[in-house]
Structure 1
Amino acid sequence: MDTQHDIALAHALTGIHEPLPPSGVIHVAIPHTSRFTIVGNHLAQHAELSLTAIGIGVHIQSLPAGSQVGIKALTARFAEGETTIASALRELETHGYLHRTRVRLANGRMVTRTVFCNRPGALPRGGAVVVPMPVVAPPAPVPVGPPVLPVVAAAVPEPAPEPAPVPEESHPPVRVPPRTAPKPPRRPLPQPRELTPELRRASSALLADLRRHAEELVLCEQDIEELVPGVAAWLERDTPPDAIRHALTADLPQPPRSPAKLIRHRLTVLLPPPLPGTSDLTPVRRTVVIPLQNCDRCDHAFRATSPGHCRGCRSELLGAA
């Protein structure tokens, strides 16, 4: 098969009457009779477009009107990724080959209208953008049918260009717990060391009296019975009733959805610590450390607040005196 191919290529080269170049590409130009597209050298040899942009431009120009030429469609057709294709489309837009605008249809839906111009330099200012179709000479006569109207521009729904994907190393995926994930356990209501009858009566009266200070906090008898230990724990820690009432009624949401749950939450999370005892408030006595000194006479170490003589040297000096 390779030999036959080489022979056919050699015969094609012998049919070229012009002298062959010593190096570089040699064109074997065989006329097309069907399925061809006329592409200008201004696109095929563009000095500023990338090779990917030139290839995509030639591909779009070869497609019939109404074809999908969005990023998703081109990514499914070619091996290049979405980032490369999106960059190439932006190049074609910059140099006037591609025009993408957002328009609203008669039914109110917003779509992206994509128009490709094969000669951006010859586009008339203020005129309609017409997508030219290649004129093909059919090899056989075609039966005459109904007239085909030229298509000016096809409104093709197309997603907007997506941003470049970010590497996974720079932004680790965030794990969102499912809606069915179990909620953390609710903190238990504070309990007093001993719920005496006096504490029970005072706590119940304080809870029942809350609606006088905040009309939203209307509690039933069952709610009061369940919340009594929490108030008793506050009273047991020597918290004044006015302070408890202010903590339970200040800055209420309007309206509170569940007064009993709101009071239970505040009794739990705002519980003050026990008052410190008298011994806890006594200042700590500091031990005075006497520094070491060297005797000026015998150089022995001894403790004193200032330099001088040790006890033995002082005794000897007193005896000599």
Structure 2
Amino acid sequence: MDTPQNTALMRALTELPGPLPARGVIHIAIRHTDRFTVVGNDLAQHTGLSTVAVGFAVRIQSLPQGTEIGIKALAARFPEGEKLIAAALRELEAHGYLQRARTRLPNGRIVTRTVFCNQPAALLRPRFAAARPQRPPAAPQIPAPQIPEPEPPAPEPPAPEAAAPQAPVPTDVQHDHAPRDHAPQDHTPFVPLVPPPTAPKPPRPPLPHPRELTTELDRAATALLSDLRRHAHQLVLSENDIRQLVPAVAAWFEREAHPDTIRHTLTNDLPQPLRHPAKLLKHRLTVLLPPPLPDPHGLAAPARPRAVVTPFQTCDGCERAFRAPTPGHCRDCRVQHGPTQAAA
């Protein structure tokens, strides 16, 4: 197996154009057409990063978006141990290539979001849309009469020695000195996806309180909070934590929430690991507080307005029934006998 590979490598060296260096590395660059990742020399030749950190940076950069890149996930994917992976991630985080931040989901669960940037130095430079000079509209050109041009002579075929194959890199790293296709630059202003640590945070909503903290509400809320560790071993609260959370649980009881409902809300889908149980419970009791139950009378359908019905009257002249608000004569009697007799 080694002989064909060495023969192919030596044959590729003989086909490289120009004089080869007497010592040092010689690149045989073969251009990739699929399954490749572009890695800049600022990372590949970074003097402050270890070789292990650079290698993991390249591996992370080659993974699809959304792939888990925690310590345990990388250890399950690659042969390096967890200690070596943790040290490499700390190096990348110290040099700005990697950022790990804890984010709270709408359901209250706290997860770790990892962001990888291939050029952290570029984030420090604000990018503005370059003003492109507008060209004046070209004057309409009058087409000139077409004159047939003589056919150019056929080019001579190149000599066999001049033909040389294009040489691209056998790895997934394309260096800056390799030929690249110039793509149009995007001048869209840079908008950071993650707010800076110095950005002001919105104020947290206050902890809910009942209208009146009665003895029954206090006792029921204390018992529910003290019993949470039987249902979730992570929710071990101190006496001080329980005293701070009792008014919030009492507010839930005041709004006629069932104890099983409160217990399920506080113990369901807990983050792993849970470092601050009291802060998580305070957040869930505040954000997920249900509204008060409506008045039973307010659930009834509104009464429809009754239509006004004009009653029947008996005509004083012909004794025929007709609709009118007051007794009198019907329309025919009023027309036949005139207004005087009708009034009489």
Tell me the TM-score normalized by structure 2: 0.41
Greater RCO, CA 8 A, separation 6+? 2
**TM value normalised by structure 1:** 0.43
